[in-house]
Amino acid sequence: MRPPEGCTLCDLHRRRTNIVMPDGNPSYGIVFVGEGPGESEDLEGRPFVGRSGKILDQMMREAGFDRTKVMITNTVKCRPPCNRDPMPEEMAACRPFLESELCGARLVIGLGKSACRDLTGYEGPMSEVVNIPMTISIQGKEIVFIPTYHPAATIYNKNSREALQETMRVVAEWLK
């Protein structure tokens, strides 16, 4: 299920250049879910192609895999203004699209607090749940979910970087 070309389900449509659809390969059953598209993603129409995407790609390569082995998407398909976190009503508007993207997954990686909150309802500090596998229910199916830091959080924080590198090692194991 995809949003219609001229989607107006929430106010994010007012400033978008492109609807940012998933990228990568869903056949391996591993999906990375970010919070929302940034400026580069809005311009290109693909998730994680800006600075955070370069960090994510590098960490994947270091762990021994790349985008051709995973699918990458966001909780919302249009860029929030000023790169703010998506609002609950915006995530709710895109939720049917996200669920259709996740319904065949074996493993979902939540990149950042907003994405993790949307998929689990967890409101506490990320440090308490990072890399702790749990399950989420998507369309009646239980799927393994691993919350982790957003790649942008790793730019200035060594602990976040190490945690995201550990997440990538776990994903590499799932791909074996």
| pLDDT computed for residue 33 by the predictor | 98
Tens of pLDDT along 132-153? 999 999 999 999 999 999 999 9
- CA neighbor of 35 nearest in space, from 52, 18, 23: 52
Residues of the chain with pLDDT under 50: none
| pLDDT computed for residue 5 by the predictor | 86
- What CATH code is assigned to 11-175? 3.40.470.10
| pLDDT computed for residue 1 by the predictor | 83
- Residue 31: which residues within 8 A CB-CB, separation 6 or more? 22, 70, 71, 72, 73, 101, 102, 105, 107, 108, 109
| pLDDT computed for residue 168 by the predictor | 98
Domain boundaries, the chain: 11-175
